[in-house]
Structure 1
Amino acid sequence: MGLLLLLAATAASGQEAPKPTVPSAPTAPPAGSDTARLVPQLTRSGVRFVFRERGTGPLARAGSRVAVRYTGFLPDGHIFDATVATGGPLRFRVGRGDVIPGWDELLLLVPAGSRVKAWIPAALAYGATGVPDPDDERRYLIPPNTELVFELEVLSVR
């Protein structure tokens, strides 16, 4: 199940997704520095991320089309979603609510060609609603109030 479907499941529950704040520009060592990719970054609303590899492509702006490969993990390391399972990258417009708010905020700070590990607070993911399992309403695919961890690769920004 892709993030777009999970977002739709949240929207269908009547729960309004929190609005992300405008991210602050991350501070980082110079691009040529060996430590540049290892410095943890933090946005104003609490998304944490570390560059595994800093790309040299363009940054997305609100409305930009992006293609992203990802793997999503619960805090215990369990994979709940990955583009490998869907057969290709996820393509969407940034800042339009197509994905969880934490992604809309994060992707404005990550240039094309980058690989990052990100920790998305529950309030910027699926919040108190979580994502119920459609096959068993007593269980959750993503439990309420769960921080999510993602390995992301921004393939393109247009």
Structure 2
Amino acid sequence: MARITSSLWLMWLLLVATAGSAQPGAKPAVPSIPTAPAMGADTTHPIPQVTRNGVRFVFRERGTGPQAQLGSRVAVRYTGFLPDGHIFDATVATGGPLRFRVGRGEVIPGWDELLPLLPEGSRVRAWIPASLAYGVAGVRDPDDESRFVIPPNTELLFELQILSVR
């Protein structure tokens, strides 16, 4: 068990170390990271993956259903966290899943990039860079315009569950 943990830790360190080594102006190279076969729910050693624009994610449970394509209708249950751990939004508060079309700009760009990689039934933890979330604008508090619900330039963490893909 300690050997597996050490190997995964080393893989993560290599991923982080190589992410910042690109030449200025060059498109960042994303290393190919193999996925673990048949991972169960809430696996204790998820393998980190990174999209081409820097969304990091780990499978907590890999679904077996279809993957979304551009224009697919999906239903997603989620909880969104700020870097300090505070929840800023969750579907449990609205009483149902969020439904939208993938790739149509109906959600933050990081989700549009990530969702086509996730089979229906998957649960993931995803880190969305600020540039693929709300960027420099952030999200102001509708009840107090002098405050932010999501501050500018904030990376977000999401727990996502893909309920359906149509």
TM-score bucket of the superposed structures, by smaller chain = 0.7 to 0.9
Q: State the partner residue of 1:6.
A: none
Instruction: Determine which structure has the larger helix proportion and give its number.
Output: 2
2:135 and 2:152 in contact (8 A); partners too: yes
C-alpha separation in 2, matches of 1:27 and 1:93: 28
| Contact residue 25 and residue 109 of structure 1 kept, 8 A | no
TM-score (norm 2): 0.76
Structure 1 contact 126–145 (Cα < 8 Å) conserved:
yes
What's the offset of the Cα at 1:137? Answer: 1.4
CA distance in 2 between counterparts of 1:121 and 1:145 reads: 8
Q: Structure 2: which amino acid aligns with 1:70?
A: Y
Larger Cα-atom Rg: 2
Q: What letter matches 1:60 in structure 2?
A: A
SS in structure 2 at match of 1:103: helix
The reply to whether residue 75 of structure 1 matches residue 83 of structure 2 is yes
Q: Is the CA contact 1:131–1:143 (under 8 Å) kept in the aligned structure 2?
A: yes
Aligned counterpart for 1:42 among listed residues 50, 54, 57: 50
Q: 1:60: which partner in 2?
A: 68
Structure 1 unaligned runs (5+)?
A: 1-23
Q: CA RMSD in A?
A: 2.2
Q: CA deviation at 1:27?
A: 3.7
- TM-score, normalised to structure 1, is 0.80
How high is the sequence identity, in percent, across the aligned residues?
75
1: distance between equivalents of 2:84 and 2:124? 19
Q: Deviations over 1:60-91 (max 9, x none)?
A: 00000000000000000000000000000000
The residue identity in structure 2 corresponding to 1:45 is N
Aligned to 1:145: 153
Three-state SS of the structure 1 residue aligned to 2:117 is coil
Question: Which of 1 and 2 has higher RCO (CA within 8 Å, sep 6+)?
Answer: 1
Matched letter for residue 54 of structure 2: G
The DSSP-based 3-state class of the residue aligned with 1:38 is coil
- In 2, distance between residues paired with 1:85 and 1:101? 23
Deviation at 1:26, TM superposition (A): 6.1
Gaps of at least 5 residues in structure 2 are: 1-29
Post-superposition Cα deviations, 1:33-62, rounded to whole Å, max 9, x if no partner, equal 678x71100011000000000000000000
Q: 2:94 aligns with which of 83, 86, 91?
A: 86
- Paired with 1:26 and 1:154, the residues of 2 have a C-alpha distance of 23
Counterpart contact for 2:38–2:62, Cα < 8 Å: no
Q: Could you tell me which residue of structure 2 aligns to residue 32 of structure 1? A: 38
